[in-house]
Homo-oligomer: A and B are copies of this chain.
Amino acid sequence: MGINAVFEALSHPVRREILQLLRGGPMSAGALAEHFTLSKPTLSVHFAKLKEAELVAVERQGTSLIYHLNMSILEEALSGLMSFKEPKS
């Protein structure tokens, strides 16, 4: 959990591309999967890792699962690395 899961999640190019796609707004698992040549189950595993790292959040809409980007976790992880850690204001 925590920072390890975040950097582990960021280490795979497909997962970074998923984040990139979500930058344009929330998308369903199926819509995301269409952007790749990988099988849906494979993509589903990538989604699970992003979710475990809390880089994305998921919400059900009917039979679809909609993923959205969680920017704050990303900022937190990266600023931790750079030690931009600001004292509490």
Contact = CB atoms under 8 A, between A and B. Distances in A.
Interface of A: 4, 7-8, 10-11, 13, 16-17, 19-20, 23, 74-75, 78, 81-84, 86, 89
B78 A19 contact: no
Question: How many copies of this protein are present in the complex?
Answer: 2
Contact of A10 (B10, B13, B17, B75): B10
Given A23-B84, A74-B81, A74-B82, 7 more contacts: A8-B11, A10-B10, A10-B11, A11-B11, A16-B86, A20-B83, A20-B84
A11 B16 contact: no
Chain A contact residues: over half helix, strand or loop, or mixed?
helix
Nearest to A22: B84
